[in-house]
Amino acid sequence: NAGVTQTPKFRILKIGQSMTLQCTQDMNHNYMYWYRQDPGMGLKLIYYSVGAGITDKGEVPNGYNVSRSTTEDFPLRLELAAPSQTSVYFCASTGYSNQPQHFGDGTRLSIL
């Protein structure tokens, strides 16, 4: 049981480039989340999804887009990368909103 899998684990981007952070889970969870963790801070919610085809913004959505075409996958898209998006990104999922979230191992993204 792989749980939540994020790829890549580490990436360096140039300013203005675009990329997609991949997240997939094999637990048939309805709820999925993207967080970012800046140095010395806790995690902040970027986007979330309550099921295939349904997504919504979290606290810090600017500069990002998401899609949820299947229950398993919840990719996060960065358009026109900016230095302020340098962070560690976590994907998480849960079967029900009252259950603990399962986290992926994170993606460390640096934008130079």
Residue 73 is classified by DSSP as: B
Q: How would you classify the pairing of strands 107-111 and 10-13?
A: parallel
Distance CA 16, CA 89 (A): 18
Shortest distance, position 17 Cβ to another protein, whole Å: 23
Q: Does 61 bind another protein (CB under 8 A)?
A: no
Whether 84 contacts 78, CB under 8 Å:
no
Distance CA 51, CA 30 (A): 5
Whether 93 contacts 32, CB under 8 Å:
yes
Q: Which stretch binds another protein (CB under 8 A): 19-27, 34-42, 65-73, 77-85?
A: 34-42
Q: Does 109 bind another protein (CB under 8 A)?
A: no
Question: Per-residue contact track with another protein, 65 to 104, x per CB under 8 A?
Answer: -----------------------x-x-x-x-xxx-xx-x-
Instruction: Tell me which residues touch another protein (CB under 8 A).
Output: 31, 33, 35, 40-45, 48, 50, 56, 58-59, 88, 90, 92, 94, 96-98, 100-101, 103, 105-106, 108
